[in-house]
Amino acid sequence: MKQQQKILIVDDVIINLHLLDGLLKTDYTVLMAKNGQQALQLAREHQPDLVLLDVVMPEMDGFAVLQALRHDARTKNIPVIFITGQDRPEDEAQGLLRGAVDYITKPLNEVIVKARVATHLKLERQRRMLESLANIDGLTELPNRRQLDQVYHREWERARRNQLPLSVAIIDVDCFKQYNDHCGHAMGDRVLQQLAQTIAANLGRPGDLAARYGGEEFVLILPATQSQGAWQLLESMRRTVENMALPHPASLVSQVVTISAGVASLQSATDTPAALLQLADQRLYHAKRSGRNCVIG
């Protein structure tokens, strides 16, 4: 069954909540909040696709709720429609200028509410699809370089702030030029897809990330992982790839497709994200010079 889109309704008057709930609950999953604090909590927890937000509420008004949603990375992109009794044109202009996608005045016209909600939910579906396409590599379906950069910087800051370990690794396919030359580019693409699947399936923890870094190179981000653990994970991946036994008739190393990797871990306060990745790259280079099909950490 297709998953229903989620709408969060926020109003301090219970009757208004029930009115909107009655209008929308057959088509959508509806969440309800009767004040701003509750709304922010539900939005962070459930990531609704749309928020219908009352403006005049005691304690925290709709404008303040909208501002708080925009300041939290988890909720900053969720579209908000104001639904309010404030029906002067300057009120509506204010609401839109502050970042609402639409402004609907009470008393509500049911058909119009439903139509506008449907329109904004459709736009939100499209926005989420584009966002995910912008972050995914088309060939391997792994996160791309762009998403890698985002995650890496976020994890870097988190590790720094909390003095936690962080490891990164660069994986590079051995003798891949020869593979393409011998087996053809289409077969080469297929190998990259199979390797990507294997790498992703062998990640150790939920916070780990594997991304396609460049042509036949992959980068792993391993939060809360010490160098020893990271090396072991990569060594185990290297063996798994060798055991896949994908024939490589032109390899200088083996009869099958193999990978090499360089691993580096956060050490000192003078490290930077770029320097850590560069260290992993230097170690990858050593792995290549030491005969390939090996991991250096």
Which residues of this protein are in contact with ligand GH3, per CB under 6 A?
A: 139, 172-178, 180, 185, 188-189, 192, 215-216, 288, 292
Q: Is residue 172 at the binding interface for Mg ion, with CB under 5 A as the rule?
A: yes
Partner in contact with 292, chosen from ligand GH3, Mg ion, none, beta carbon below 5 to 8 Å by kind: ligand GH3
* Residues 157, 226: Cα–Cα separation, whole Å: 16
Cα–Cα distance for residue pair 97/218, rounded to 1 Å: 43
The residue among 11 and 172 lying less far from ligand GH3, judged by its C-beta, is 172
Could you say which of ligand GH3, Mg ion, none residue 54 binds, taking C-beta under 5 to 8 angstroms by partner kind?
Answer: Mg ion
Shortest distance, position 222 Cβ to ligand GH3, whole Å? 22
Phi (first) and psi of residue 204, to 5 degrees: -80, -40
- Does 219 contact Mg ion by CB under 5 A? no
Distance in angstroms between the alpha carbons of the first and the last residue of the chain: 47
Distance in angstroms (rounded) separating the CA atoms of residues 165 and 160: 8
- Residue 76 vs 185, nearer CB to ligand GH3: 185
Interacting stretch for Mg ion, rule CB under 5 A, among 30-38, 56-64, 101-109, 118-126?
Answer: 56-64
Q: Out of Mg ion, ligand GH3, none, which partner does residue 288 contact, by CB within 5 to 8 A per kind?
A: ligand GH3
In angstroms, the CA 46 to CA 236 distance is 37
Q: Smaller CB distance to ligand GH3: residue 82 or 176?
A: 176
Specify the residue, 57 or 196, whose C-beta has the smaller distance to Mg ion: 57
Query: What kind and span of H or E run contains 278?
Result: helix 273-289
Assigned token pair, 263: 């691993």
Query: Interface with Mg ion includes 12 (CB under 5 A)?
Result: yes
> Per CB under 5 A, does 65 bind Mg ion?
no
Query: CA 224, CA 5: separation in Å to the nearest integer?
Result: 34
Q: Does 49 bind Mg ion (CB under 5 A)?
A: no
Residue 176 touches Mg ion, criterion: CB under 5 A: yes
Burial 243-265, CB ≥16 within 10 A → b, else e: eeebebeebebeebbbbbbbbbb
List of residues contacting Mg ion (CB under 5 A)? 12, 54, 56-57, 172-173, 176
